[in-house]
Amino acid sequence: MQRLVLTSIVVLLAMSAPGTSTAAVLPKRPNIVVLYTDDQRWDTLDAMPTVSRLAREGVHFRNSFVTTPVCGPSRVGFFSGNPARAEGITVNEGAASQYDDRHSIAVALQEAGYATALFGKYLNGYRDQFPAVPPGWSEWRVFRDGYFDLFGRGSLHQDPMLSWNGTARRASGRSEDLFAEYAEEFIARNADRPFFLVLSFWAPHVPLIPAERHAGKFEGFYPPKPPSLEERDLRDKSPLFRQQAESGIDLDPIWERAWSVYQELLLGVDDAAARIVAALQRHALSENTIVVFTSDNGFQFGEHWVVGKGMPYEESIRVPLVVWSPALRRHTPRELVLNIDLAPTFAELAGASFEAQGRSLVPLLKRRRVPWRRAFEVEGFAGVEDFRAVRSGLFKWIAWQSGHREVYLLPFDPYEMRGSGRSVAGGETSRLPPRITRSRPRGAPSRRPRGPGSPRGAPRCGEARTGGGNGPVSSGTPPRERVGGGRGCAPPGRPGTP
Ligand SMILES: [Ca+2]
């Protein structure tokens, strides 16, 4: 009964009325430039002077989240405007094989007359798709090998191997600088037509190796340690976390070292941001361009004994989101916005036809008062253990696959340390309460057959060895990918040392 009542409240909270039509403040069919980072938690913009300036001058969303806090599924949400599960995604590594990319926002924008480009990271498992170039992209220069190129010749940070419109090409240089250079050229070539340009950086993802010019810039600079670092009272947490705490790992040095290097990695992205803003100015395109800065998921530096992501806690699910254009008045919306809202936003800006569960942010960009979602659902199915969570402005409710349940009252417990926790017998995914989100977008065409690489529901935990996906922070040895831990893979290991 209690569950039924809670579910009903959640469904009511999640219902949102349609937005109203908006006054024309933004340019028509603007260029859209997305600066997309990997594993950047929301509270890190101070390390980035250019992006901080964009945040001050533009629209800085203070409550921006992802619906799945790991790379591949979150990126599917970005491209599709739908929660990953609604797109049939059940794994992190291998997400590229599961995703039906024929209906992405790139396809919609290209059909609407936009030049489109993706430089950087696509989806986990793209290597299995190579040399294919997904539909919708006029220009495609993406990491060919993903995690499999972490420590090879060069790496993803330096001299990366790219799929250059479907041809393998080893690039020479620091990857953030390369993508900035490609973006400058792309902007120059397309100055006379609308374009959609996505720079999808590897930084600040592991391995934590900054550009030489940034090494040591943040040495010794890290935020105050939160009380949730080495959390002592774990009665509200799943037994999995107690095991982790008993490992005896000393998280202090991880916090200090990882934060420092992570911020140095962000400096490389910030340099790229500065170059792109300058290129827009050079071509007199600033007034007609929307610049978006965000990330695919956050990262925990030891909060709740977790060094990694994929968790339902704030540090994993919360990401920066800045939208900048000279046409926008600066403000800081408090609405709960999601990664799946971006594709519908781009579609509305471009006047493109697009159907998704996410909601366009255009009314919020224009400071219009519209009814908005009061809660949202987060799903974790490619981390240490499957979970479903609901977060509103007031509370977070978490249901782990093991049967453990947690509830936090966020205004009184922002570090999620004093929740109520209990375990129910026989916990399984199928016993979790019904979903808020639809399992498939309305009117969605039938899916294409999946590739042979990733059978649905069978994460390849044994095959994804050099992950970094949810693995511990380490700049010395390849982190283990903790994919599919809830389905028979090993529980999280002891975090490595930086
Ligand atoms: Ca990521």
Residue 264: inside a domain: yes
Question: Which residues have a beta carbon within 5 Å of ligand 1, which is an ion?
Answer: 38-39, 71, 296-297
Residue 151 has which token pair? 């420590």
Q: Is the pLDDT of residue 389 over 80?
A: yes
The pLDDT value recorded for residue 91 is 87
The owner of tokens 């017998």 is 425
Tell me the DSSP string of 389-455.
Answer: EEEESSEEEEEETTSEEEEEETTT-TTS-S-EEEE-TT--GGGSPPPSS-SS-TTPPPPPPPPTT--
Rounded CA separation 495/89 (Å): 27
Residue 54 CA, ligand 1 centroid: distance in Å: 22
For 117, the enclosing helix (H) or strand (E) is strand 115-120
10 Å CB burial of residue 8 (0-12, 13-18, 19+) is: exposed
CA–CA gap between residue 106 and residue 122 (Å, rounded):
12
Position 402 scores a pLDDT of 86
Q: What sign does the CA torsion over 186, 39, 259, 472 have?
A: negative
Q: What is the pLDDT of residues 414-446, one digit of tens each?
A: 999 999 888 776 555 444 554 544 444 444 444
In angstroms, what is the span from residue 472 Cα to ligand 1's centroid? 13
What percent of the chain is modeled with pLDDT above 70? 78
pLDDT at residue 84 above 70?
Answer: yes
Over 90: is that where the pLDDT of 220 sits? Answer: yes
What's the 237 CA to ligand 1 centre distance in angstroms? 24
Stronger pLDDT, 377 or 249, i.e. the higher one:
377
E-strand stretches of 10-73: 31-37, 59-61, 64-65
Give dist(CA 426, CA 432) in Å, integer. Answer: 11
Measured in angstroms, how far is the CA atom of residue 466 from the centroid of ligand 1? Answer: 14
CA of 4 to the centre of ligand 1 (A): 34
Distance 124 CA to ligand 1 centre (A): 10
Report pLDDT for 19.
Answer: 37
Look at residue 295 and tell me if it is in a domain: yes
The Cα 95–Cα 45 span in angstroms is: 28
CA 122 to ligand 1 centroid distance, Å:
11
Within a domain: residue 494?
A: no
Q: What is the pLDDT of residues 22-73, one digit of tens each?
A: 443 689 999 999 999 999 999 999 999 999 999 999 999 999 999 999 999 9
| 65 CA → ligand 1 middle, Å | 13
pLDDT score of 382: 64
Whole-number Å distance, alpha carbon 425 to ligand 1 midpoint, is 33
Cα dist. 188→139, 199, 284 in Å? 14, 16, 11
State residue 447's pLDDT score. 43
- Tell me how far the alpha carbon of residue 217 lies from the centroid of ligand 1, in angstroms: 24
CA dihedral 358, 363, 367, 372 (to 10 degrees): -50
Query: Would the pLDDT of 12 be above 60?
Result: no
The reply to whether 461 falls in a domain is no
> Given the structure tokens 């989240």, which residue do they identify?
65
Average pLDDT, integer, range 270-295 = 98
- Residue 220 belongs to a domain: yes
Write the CA distances from 200 to 36, 56, 71, 175, 334, integer angstroms.
5, 22, 11, 10, 26
Which range, of 93-107, 114-128, 135-149, averages the lowest pLDDT? 135-149
| Mean pLDDT of all residues in 331-360 | 97
> What's the CA gap between 154 and 458, in Å, rounded?
32
Question: Who contacts 227 (Cβ-Cβ below 8 Å, separation ≥6)?
Answer: 415, 417
For ligand 1, the distance from its centroid to the CA atom of residue 370, given in whole angstroms, is: 31
Mean pLDDT, residues 281-289 taken together? 97
Q: What is the pTM of this model?
A: 0.84
Q: Tell me if 304 is assigned to some domain.
A: yes
Separation between Cα atoms, residue 480 and residue 41, nearest integer Å: 20
Give the tokens for residue 220. 């010794």
Centre of ligand 1 to C-alpha 162, Å, is 19
Q: How far apart are CA 390 and CA 377, in angstroms?
A: 5
Distances (CA, A) of 29 to 237, 288, 348, 350: 48, 8, 9, 4
Looking at the structure of the chain, the number of domains it has is 1
Q: What pLDDT sits at residue 151?
A: 59
Question: If you measure from the C-alpha of residue 255 to the centroid of ligand 1, how many angstroms do you get, rounded to a whole number?
Answer: 19
* pLDDT (0 to 100) of residue 245: 85
What's the domain range around 84?
23-369
Q: Are 229 and 251 in contact (CB under 8 A)?
A: yes
CA of 123 to the centre of ligand 1 (A): 10
Mean pLDDT over residues 482-488, rounded?
26
Residue 218 belongs to a domain: yes
Q: How far is the CA of 382 from the centre of ligand 1 (A)?
A: 12
Of 143-147, 231-235, 285-289, 314-318, the least confident: 143-147
Please report whether residue 81 resides in a domain.
yes
Report the chain's mean pLDDT, rounded to a whole number: 83
What is the reported pLDDT for 243?
A: 84
- CATH number of the domain within which 317 lies: 3.40.720.10
Between 411 and 488, the more confident residue is 411
At position 262, the amino acid (one-letter code) is Y
Please give the distance, rounded to the nearest whole angstrom, from the Cα atom of residue 380 to the centre of ligand 1. Answer: 13
Of the pLDDT bands very low, low, confident and very high (cuts 50, 70, 90), residue 309 is very high
Q: Is the pLDDT score of 465 beyond 80?
A: no
pLDDT of residue 379: 94
